[in-house]
Structure 1
Amino acid sequence: MTKRTSAKYKIDRRMGENIWGRPKSPVNKREYGPGQHGQRRKNKMSDFGTQLRAKQKLKGYYGDLTEKQFRKIYGEAERMRGDTSEQLIGLLERRLDAVVYRAKFVPTIFSARQFVNHGHVQVNGRRVNIASYQVKEGDVISIREKSRQLAIVLEAAGSAERDTPEYLHVDHSKMTAEFVRTPALSDVPYPVMMEPNLVVEFYAKN
């Protein structure tokens, strides 16, 4: 098992949920946490624990972002007009690595980050190698022509494991995806319940 695969599975087991909906997740077989104390009976979580868990789950889902990265995104969402929890989801979904993952150009959010960093992705015809780049409505994201026949791309595009969301117009024959609109929480196809409102509560108190 590779280090990256091991890390993904560890996040699933720590959360006790199959947060990416993968068939091979260890949580499908055993829902308790990792380590020798994983099977101990869990006490009722405090409000702080529930909020912290919601934050960790959301951070983990988007490639196990660092606290510094996640806090910066939250700060930007807080400064925007409207519901902070909805703005937070919108900003996370506008990350270039998230769009590449949603478009099924790669199999996982972790591989999406690496794929972008290695220069395989273009935005409006220009190469962008920053995974956190914020895509705008109307932007067209494409795979560089030299990279379109990579095994990882072909495998992901042909996978029936997940569908592309309605806020993207994806053409796998051309390996392009148009970011049509910024999604609301209800538009995002999370395999498990995400609670960004609890994340807002966590940062408001800590």
Structure 2
Amino acid sequence: MTKRTAAKYKLDRRMGENVFGRPKSPVNKREYGPGQHGQRRKNKLSDFGTQLRAKQKLKGYYGDLTEKQFKRIYAEAARRKGDTGEMLIGLLERRLDAVVYRAKFVPTIWAARQFVNHAHVLVNGKSVNIPSYRVKEGDVIEVRPKSKQLAMVLEAVQLAERDVPDYIEVDHSKMTAKFLRQPGLADVPYPVVMEPNLVVEYYAKNG
């Protein structure tokens, strides 16, 4: 098992949920946490524990962003007008690696980060290799011509386990995606319940 696969499944087991909606997730078979004490009945989480868990789940879903990266995105969401939780989700979904993943150009968010890092992606015709690059409304994201026949790309397009959300317009015959608008929480096809309001509470109390 690769390190990334292990990390992905570790998050699933820790949360007791199939965070990425993957068919092979270990929690499809068992709903308890990792380790020898994983089957013990779980104690009720405190408010802090519930908020921390919500933050770990959301942060982990986007490829386990570092705390520094995640906090920076949260701080920007808090500065903007409107609901901070909704804004947090919108900013996370505007990351280039998230858009590449949502467009089904790659099978996982980890693969998306690597894919962008290795310069397989063009934004408005120009090569961009920064996974955290923020996509704007109307931007066209495209798999570089030389990379369109990569096995990983061809396989990802066929994945039945997730659909492309309606804030991204995709043409898989050309391997292009247009980012139409910043989504809110209800627009994002998370396989599990995400609670950005608890993430906001966590940072409000714990800075």
| TM category, shorter | over 0.9
Identical pairs, percent: 81
**Structure-2 residue corresponding to 1:18:** 18
TM-score by length of structure 1 reads 0.99
Q: What is the correspondence of 1:1-206 to structure 2 with a 5 Å cutoff?
A: 1-206=1-206
Q: Which runs of 5+ in 1 are unaligned?
A: none
How many Å separate the matches in 2 of 1:200 and 1:2? 33
Q: What is the DSSP-based 3-state SS (H/G/I as helix, E as strand, rest coil) of the residue aligned with 1:69?
A: helix
Displacement of 1:146 after TM fit?
0.1
Question: 1:44-82 CA deviation, whole Å, 9 max, x = no partner?
Answer: 110000000000000010001111110010001011111
How many Å separate the matches in 2 of 1:23 and 1:157? 16
How many Å separate the matches in 2 of 1:168 and 1:60? 22
- Opposite residue 92 of structure 1, the aligned amino acid is L
Displacement of 1:136 after TM fit?
0.2
Question: 1:153-186 CA deviation, whole Å, 9 max, x = no partner?
Answer: 0000112111100000000000000000000100
Displacement of 1:31 after TM fit?
1.0
* Stretch moving more, 3-12 or 91-100: 3-12
Displacement of 1:84 after TM fit?
0.4
Displacement of 1:201 after TM fit?
0.3
- Opposite residue 128 of structure 1, the aligned amino acid is V
Question: 1:5-63 CA deviation, whole Å, 9 max, x = no partner?
Answer: 11111011011100110000000001111111111111111000000000000001000
How many Å separate the matches in 1 of 2:96 and 2:47? 33
* Stretch moving more, 54-63 or 33-42: 33-42
How many Å separate the matches in 2 of 1:160 and 1:37? 35
How many Å separate the matches in 2 of 1:65 and 1:166? 25
How many Å separate the matches in 2 of 1:191 and 1:16? 13
How many Å separate the matches in 2 of 1:128 and 1:145? 14
Question: 1:92-112 CA deviation, whole Å, 9 max, x = no partner?
Answer: 000000000000000000000
How many Å separate the matches in 2 of 1:126 and 1:196? 33
**Number of residues of Structure 1 aligned to a counterpart in Structure 2:** 206
RMSD of the TM alignment (CA)? 0.5
Q: What is the DSSP-based 3-state SS (H/G/I as helix, E as strand, rest coil) of the residue aligned with 1:60?
A: helix
Displacement of 1:89 after TM fit?
0.2
TM-score by length of structure 2 reads 0.99
How many Å separate the matches in 2 of 1:35 and 1:98? 31
